[in-house]
């Protein structure tokens, strides 16, 4: 929906700012604040110890304004906007890691499967403190991402601090073309296994191809399916809806609500369960966030799947990527999303039906290490608590609602190695899920 707003323009130095004029008093206060900004801007230009670029100053001011709202709103210049579009649709030169900024350094959310970072043993929860010997402190997340990306075949040195390791880890990686292949699958006996590592434009088609191959090989012998969403940091909202729809016959999948509670958009399932009611388990953990939580929440609320693993990250907000006149864009938090039962998981996450820890961590370590959306500085409050955060920004166009991958700020501090997905023997949670399906299949046939 487009909203036409009456606005006035104020010229400050070399920049033009449009402001909405709802009332005389509010307009006067807005002008006073813009005059303050103009004063600071001009003093920096004329008196700072070295000459600074106007464009860089303005971009920094815009980004500061957005990042002050919540951890997921940010400004994307033309280069970063293009990088974001490439990541959700195609390929790029880089290392293959999902990252966020925490405590002034880069925190690894999760490595993508079969990438330089994956092969080098970079783990979820690692802190990257230096890039090519340069300290991360002082860099923005976007600056750090720009440094890690580059031409395929070039090398990069990372300095990593890992919890439980006394010494820093120095690793040299060779950048590669990162193809966003988000869906992988194999068969365990008579059970299909599908892993979705992120939600890109090709996730639903990849899921359907995987299901076709599994059903063709197993036929009527197929006992059930495991859908692995562990360490999946999210992605595109429409793909989360389409993946959920693949397994649901009817009902609501998710709803989104802007700051105006009357503006509710509902996404409903269409008839057609692709596995025809067979036993179904979804795996999640602390690295499962946003779009992956939408899928898990929908399947849980409709009692279509048993959710197994550990509590998810708890990112219950939607970001709209809005193109700007500078060929850049801004990623703005515009809505909360709600599961079919009407619950928001913001700051809370999805609680599994069956809690299963990985054997590599004991309970005390799990509780100590777990990081969530609620632990991020400036995170939004859960609207179900009755105090919906008034700092939510205005709505964008529904067709452009993307839960943006680059700027997702979730992590998995459970240090299990999900990356070697060859057999269930390597993975206690997966082994539990497979045994659960076998048990359900036996109960169904008796």
Here the CATH number for the domain that contains residue 120 is 2.30.42.10
Whether residues 335 and 273 fall in one domain: yes
Q: List helix spans (H) across 304-385.
A: 363-369
Residue 359, token pair as written in the block: 């054997």
Q: Compute the mean pLDDT over every residue in the chain, rounded to the nearest whole number.
A: 81
Confidence of residue 110 (pLDDT cuts 50, 70, 90): confident
- pLDDT for 416 equals 33
Of 179, 212, 231, the position where a domain reaches its end is 179
- pLDDT for 122 equals 93
Q: Is 114 exposed, middle or buried (0-12, 13-18, 19+ CB in 10 A)?
A: middle
The enclosing H or E element of 266 equals strand 264-268
The closest alpha carbon to 185, from 177, 195, 175, belongs to 195
Evaluate if residue 175 carries a pLDDT over 90. yes
Give how far the C-alpha of residue 266 lies from the chain's centroid of Cα atoms, to the nearest Å: 21
Of 139, 160, 179, the position where a domain reaches its end is 179
Flag whether 63 is in a domain.
no
Whether residues 233 and 112 fall in one domain: no
Name the range with the highest mean pLDDT among 103-117, 128-142, 237-251, 432-446.
237-251
Q: Under DSSP, is residue 123 helix (H, G, I), strand (E, B) or coil?
A: coil
Cα 163 to Cα 370: distance, rounded to the nearest angstrom: 12
Task: Judge if pTM exceeds 0.85.
Answer: no
Half-sphere exposure of 237 (CA within 13 A, CB side): 26
Whether residues 237 and 198 fall in one domain: yes
- pLDDT for 392 equals 35
Flag whether 353 is in a domain.
yes
Whether residues 171 and 193 fall in one domain: no
Residue 323 domain boundaries = 183-445
CA-derived radius of gyration, the chain:
23
**pLDDT tens-digit map of 210-262:** 999 999 999 999 999 999 999 998 889 999 999 999 999 999 999 999 987 67
Whether residues 19 and 115 fall in one domain: no
**What does the pLDDT average to over 7-17?**
36
Whether residues 429 and 316 fall in one domain: yes
User: Catalytic amino acids?
Assistant: 290, 301, 315
Flag whether 11 is in a domain.
yes
The enclosing H or E element of 74 equals strand 74-76
Evaluate if residue 123 carries a pLDDT over 80. yes
Whether residues 289 and 159 fall in one domain: no
Whether residues 244 and 153 fall in one domain: no
Number of domains in the chain: 3
Flag whether 315 is in a domain.
yes
**pLDDT tens-digit map of 331-357:** 999 999 999 999 999 989 999 999 999
Whether residues 237 and 353 fall in one domain: yes
Of 164, 179, 194, the position where a domain reaches its end is 179
Whether residues 200 and 266 fall in one domain: yes
Cα 227 to Cα 193: distance, rounded to the nearest angstrom: 6
Flag whether 317 is in a domain.
yes
């Amino acid at each position: 929906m487009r909203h036409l707003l009456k606005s006035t323009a104020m010229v400050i130095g070399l920049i033009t700012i449009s402001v909405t004029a709802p009332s005389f008093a509010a307009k006067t206060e807005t002008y006073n604040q813009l005059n303050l900004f103009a004063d600071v801007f001009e003093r920096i230009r004329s008196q700072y110890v070295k000459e600074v670029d106007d464009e860089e100053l303005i971009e920094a001011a815009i980004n500061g304004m957005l990042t002050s709202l919540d951890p997921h709103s940010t400004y994307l210049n033309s280069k970063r906007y293009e990088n974001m579009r490439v990541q959700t649709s195609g390929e790029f030169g880089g290392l293959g890691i999902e990252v966020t900024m925490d405590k002034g350094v880069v925190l690894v959310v999760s490595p993508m499967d079969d990438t330089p970072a994956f092969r080098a043993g970079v783990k979820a929860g690692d802190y990257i403190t230096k890039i090519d010997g340069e300290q991360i402190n002082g860099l923005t997340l976007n600056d750090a991402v720009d440094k890690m990306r580059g031409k395929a075949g070039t090398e990069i040195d990372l300095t990593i601090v890992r919890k439980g390791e006394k010494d820093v880890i120095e690793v040299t990686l060779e950048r590669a073309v990162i193809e966003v292949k988000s869906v992988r699958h194999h068969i365990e006996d008579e059970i299909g296994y599908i892993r979705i590592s992120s939600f890109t434009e090709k996730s639903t088609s990849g899921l359907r191809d995987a299901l076709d191959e599994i059903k063709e090989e197993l036929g009527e012998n197929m006992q059930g399916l495991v859908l692995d969403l562990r360490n999946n940091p999210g992605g595109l909202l429409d793909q989360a809806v389409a993946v959920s729809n693949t397994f649901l016959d009817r009902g609501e999948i998710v709803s989104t609500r802007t700051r105006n509670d009357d503006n509710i958009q509902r996404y409903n399932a269409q008839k057609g369960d692709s596995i025809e009611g067979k036993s179904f388990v979804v795996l999640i953990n602390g690295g499962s966030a946003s779009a992956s939580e939408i899928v898990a929440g929908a399947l849980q609320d409709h009692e279509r799947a048993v959710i197994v693993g550990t509590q998810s990250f708890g990112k219950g907000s939607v970001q709209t990527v809005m193109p700007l006149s500078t060929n850049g864009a801004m990623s703005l938090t515009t809505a909360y999303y709600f599961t079919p039962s009407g619950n928001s998981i913001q700051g809370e996450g999805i609680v599994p039906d069956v809690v299963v820890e990985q054997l590599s961590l004991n309970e005390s370590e799990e509780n100590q290490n777990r990081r969530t959306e609620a632990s991020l500085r400036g995170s939004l409050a859960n609207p179900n608590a009755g105090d919906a955060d008034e700092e939510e920004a205005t709505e964008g166009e529904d067709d452009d609602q993307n839960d943006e991958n680059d700027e997702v700020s979730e992590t998995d501090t459970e240090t299990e190695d999900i990356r070697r997905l060859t057999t269930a023997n390597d993975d206690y949670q997966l082994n539990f899920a497979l045994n659960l399906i076998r048990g359900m299949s036996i109960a169904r046939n008796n």
